Structure 1
Amino acid sequence: FSVWSRLQREVMLDFGEALLAPLPNRGIPELRQAIAGHLAAFRGMRVDPENILIGAGTDFLYNLLIQLLGREKVYAVEEPGYGKIRKIYAAGGVKTVSAAMDDRGVLPESLGSADVLHISPSHHFPTGIVTPVSRRRELLDWANRGEKWIIEDDYDSEFRFDAHPVPAMQSLDDGGRVIYMNSFSKSLAPSIRISYMVLPAGLMAAFQQKLGFYSCTVPSFEQYTLARFLSRGFFEKHINRMRKFYKNRRNAVVSLLEKCSFSDKLTIQEQDAGLHFLLNVATSLSDQSLTEKLAALGIRVRALSSYYHDQSEDLHCLVINYSGLKEERLSAALAAISGELA
């Protein structure tokens, strides 16, 4: 926070009243250039800064895409998946269908009448599945054959703990069918509502023609600050610190689960990416009963079954978001609930 505050003071002194001037609708060039450099370093992506569009949160960008691609399009969303995405599309007046998944990600044959696929291939929420390159190419073939679109939501991609992240779909895309999206809200702070998308060149031209009247929704003050934070290497240092912090937090949580009295009834899945993992629990309790008992003990988690739109049977699997989980509270909760699970 001290570095961010210092950069803000610098920006105020350097720009003064110029911060009150109108902004380019895609965002300031300095920030778009800094994001392009960040994507090259972290994700191996070659991105033209002219094709980057800055917005105040991904919710806003999703709504821009609905207008840009057209409300007659059918959007496929992952099943199971993050429920808010489906709600945003429904509120925007477009039809959504469920995209079935296996242990390699979205099944191309399940996309049916869909025109647009919203996917998080680098670390799916909530299952944690990382889509391999072979399946990514299958989905790209689907998009290219039918002139479809893929929205690649790269949420959480900075917090991988393995050494060899899978290339982004955008970098594998030769046909200009992938729209790449990411946000700084998770990696920096929720209050920093700065997100961005990388549009294929042809789609950016269509945006400027059709929706170019929209103003940029992120204040110049925050944009200039973030541009300096990225270009001077502070973001990279911050991510490295947070990776270490969250890896230690994850290891501590896993250790507590492995040492508890009913550890033989627990199976941990998908530990190597993002800020959550799945915990299978061998229990006769329903998913609702289990999560309610944990909530009463101060541990608020959701069952994997609650993320399905088209089914509701118990899966006896919990989604453990350990980024905000206190080890002391978890230890006490495990001791308290052991009588029902041991």
Structure 2
Amino acid sequence: MPRGVPAKLFPPHLPGLRQEQGPLHRQLYERLRQAILTGVIPPRSRLPSTRTLAANLGVSRNTVEQAFAQLDAEGLLERRVGSGSVVALPEHVRPPDGPVRAPTGRAELAPPLRARGRRVAELPLSAAPSGLLPLTPCMPALDAFPLSLWRRSLQRQSRQTGTQLLSYGETAGWRPLREAVAAHVGTSRGVRCDWRQVLIVTSTQQALDLVARLLLEEGDAVWMEEPGYLGARTAFSATGARLIPVPVDEEGLRVDEGLSRAPKARLAYVTPSYQYPLGLTMSLARRLALLEWARASGAWVVEDDYDSEFRYTSRPIAALQGLGDTGRVLYVGTFNKVMFPSLRLAYLVVPEPLVEPFLRAKSLADGHTALLSQAAMADFMERGHFTAHLRQMRLLYAERRQALLDALRREAGNSLQPVGSVEAGMHVTVKLAGRADDVALVQRAASRGLDTRPLSAHYLGTKRSSGLVLGFSGVDPAALRSAAASLASLL
């Protein structure tokens, strides 16, 4: 189109502006911008003067001036004194056969994905956070959290460190917190590490994502507990790894089955202290066998110690990581389940040769974890509040666990059978009698405000058990008794 051809704007290109739809200059800007980008107003067209356009629209000239100024700033208009405003979009941005049409479907907006992108896009999403609904698995007791002590830690660190916490932080994490974590897991969990091996991350999921990115390639075999944690499954699946379901029994992961199914696997993922979701503890013999396999084959073991702090009839079982000198175990722990979910603090203890690669991967992912929460957490631990909180939660959770089990026994009888003999953790799993559809039951329970998980969804293979994963730590005994009665009525 020749330079300076007037644009025939009204009608129909710009419908009237309306006060109730927001600032008039913004409405005008958005409509002109859309008309230019979609070719309704062709390139090199001359727009009416601000005075003429204001009169046509019944708005002030200042309104039009603000819209034109924004379009000029974005390079969509050329404004010259005495010659008016011309659309600056070059001819080559639109196809020669007509105006560009705005995308109408989701597929048109999304660019084609590569193989890894398709794998990620097809992975199932984790259950959405559901707040403080009864029976949410692994939800801490927010009603019993020492908020005043936590607030003091936040205020103290803000006051003492000043602007230091407002700047960028070290990728590995706040050093006092890394030191506190190393001391804590060494004393309470038997983990053998130097503070330099501790990497502060936002969550267990980020730790697993880093492990997957650095240690796995497409086609690598990974031993997965059967049934097992869905978050680990999705993290490893995203890399194209080949997931090998390895059954668990009363002694935990069956290492002999893993050797039979994939002896040259690259990695094994385990929850040895309190297996998720069945609530079993891996025996010493199985732990040693797993470590020996990793040493002999050069494989890696990821130990997810997600809620091992909570054991109600004995001291917490020592971590797998501290049993041997193989240097093949990556240890994952989290504060999000011990403190509160929105804290977004967890930690990954890696063997010394992997420290630098993991730092680089963490830097690539998000630079570093938020500093103020790290500093407050370090203060909270150094002053003994964390240990005291754990001690109080063990007593509270033991009471709530028993309240739920008693209520289930009273309300449901043999229809819901608890599995696992260990009195620990923040959830219990019950199996359904007969061939009940646990997915349908979970959906019906949700309609009554109960937040449960289907056991069958945690299996990779076709042989599945039907049951429910039930949390007890997040609400008081009265709410648990009511939830058990409501759940039993659905059976």
Out of 465, 472, 475, the residue aligned to residue 322 of structure 1 is: 472
1:78 corresponds to: 225
Provide the alpha-carbon RMSD of the alignment. Answer: 2.5
Out of 329, 333, 345, the residue aligned to residue 182 of structure 1 is: 333
> Following superposition of structure 1 onto structure 2, how do residues 81-120 of structure 1 map, counting pairs within 5 Å?
81-111=228-258, 112=262, 113-120=264-271
Q: Quick one: distance in 1 between partners of 2:435 and 2:208?
A: 40
Q: Quick one: distance in 1 between partners of 2:485 and 2:205?
A: 40
Residue deviations 1:201-236, cap 9 Å, x none?
A: 12224545x648546421221111111111111101
1:32 corresponds to: 178
CA contact (8 A) 2:169 2:368 kept: no
CA contact (8 A) 1:76 1:98 kept: yes
Q: Quick one: distance in 1 between partners of 2:329 and 2:429?
A: 29
Q: Percent of aligned pairs with the same residue?
A: 32
In structure 2, the CA distance between the partners of 1:236 and 1:329, relative to structure 1 (3 Å rule), is: closer
The answer to whether residue 397 in structure 2 is matched with residue 246 in structure 1 is yes
Q: Quick one: distance in 2 between partners of 1:123 and 1:151?
A: 14
The answer to whether residue 151 in structure 2 is matched with residue 5 in structure 1 is yes
In structure 2, the CA distance between the partners of 1:175 and 1:244, relative to structure 1 (3 Å rule), is: same
Residue deviations 1:98-150, cap 9 Å, x none?
A: 22222211122333142111111111111011101111000001100101100
The alpha-carbon deviation at position 56 of structure 1 amounts to 1.7
1:148 corresponds to: 299
Out of 185, 188, 200, the residue aligned to residue 351 of structure 2 is: 200
CA contact (8 A) 2:336 2:344 kept: yes
Instruction: Give SS of 2:429's match.
Output: strand
In structure 2, the CA distance between the partners of 1:283 and 1:212, relative to structure 1 (3 Å rule), is: closer
Q: Quick one: distance in 2 between partners of 1:212 and 1:273?
A: 32
Q: Quick one: distance in 2 between partners of 1:206 and 1:335?
A: 51
1:67 corresponds to: 213
Relative to the length of structure 2, the TM-score reads 0.64
Out of 307, 313, 319, the residue aligned to residue 168 of structure 1 is: 319
In structure 2, the CA distance between the partners of 1:29 and 1:298, relative to structure 1 (3 Å rule), is: closer
Greater CA deviation, 115-124 or 299-308? 299-308
Greater CA deviation, 22-31 or 149-158? 22-31
Q: Quick one: distance in 2 between partners of 1:4 and 1:116?
A: 38
Greater CA deviation, 78-87 or 184-193? 78-87
> Following superposition of structure 1 onto structure 2, how do residues 269-288 of structure 1 map, counting pairs within 5 Å?
269-270=419-420, 271-283=422-434, 285-288=436-439
Instruction: Give SS of 2:473's match.
Output: helix
Instruction: Give SS of 1:180's match.
Output: strand
Greater CA deviation, 7-16 or 99-108? 99-108
The alpha-carbon deviation at position 34 of structure 1 amounts to 0.6
The answer to whether residue 413 in structure 2 is matched with residue 267 in structure 1 is no
Amino acid at match of 1:52: V
Q: Quick one: distance in 2 between partners of 1:136 and 1:199?
A: 18
CA contact (8 A) 1:294 1:333 kept: no
The answer to whether residue 282 in structure 2 is matched with residue 131 in structure 1 is yes
Amino acid at match of 1:42: S
Instruction: Give SS of 2:442's match.
Output: helix
The alpha-carbon deviation at position 286 of structure 1 amounts to 3.2
Q: Quick one: distance in 2 between partners of 1:244 and 1:141?
A: 37
Residue deviations 1:62-111, cap 9 Å, x none?
A: 22222322425432222111212211222244333222222211122333
CA contact (8 A) 1:299 1:330 kept: no
In structure 2, the CA distance between the partners of 1:339 and 1:302, relative to structure 1 (3 Å rule), is: closer
Amino acid at match of 2:311: R
Q: Quick one: distance in 2 between partners of 1:337 and 1:29?
A: 47
Q: Quick one: distance in 2 between partners of 1:24 and 1:169?
A: 28
The alpha-carbon deviation at position 317 of structure 1 amounts to 2.8
2:308 corresponds to: 157
Q: Quick one: distance in 2 between partners of 1:330 and 1:126?
A: 19
Amino acid at match of 1:45: V
Out of 206, 213, 220, the residue aligned to residue 371 of structure 2 is: 220
Residue deviations 1:248-303, cap 9 Å, x none?
A: 1111112212323x424443233501011122343564334443443444333233
Determine which structure has more spread, i.e. the larger CA radius of gyration: 2
Q: Quick one: distance in 1 between partners of 2:210 and 2:415?
A: 46
Out of 194, 208, 221, the residue aligned to residue 48 of structure 1 is: 194
The answer to whether residue 160 in structure 2 is matched with residue 20 in structure 1 is no
Q: Quick one: distance in 2 between partners of 1:136 and 1:303?
A: 28
The alpha-carbon deviation at position 193 of structure 1 amounts to 0.8
**Structure 2: segments with no counterpart, 5+ residues:** 1-146
Amino acid at match of 2:400: R
CA contact (8 A) 2:407 2:481 kept: yes
Residue deviations 1:295-340, cap 9 Å, x none?
A: 4443332332221121265x34322211235655554565567677
Q: Quick one: distance in 2 between partners of 1:97 and 1:272?
A: 29
Greater CA deviation, 69-78 or 324-333? 324-333
**Structure 1: segments with no counterpart, 5+ residues:** none
Q: Quick one: distance in 2 between partners of 1:137 and 1:298?
A: 43
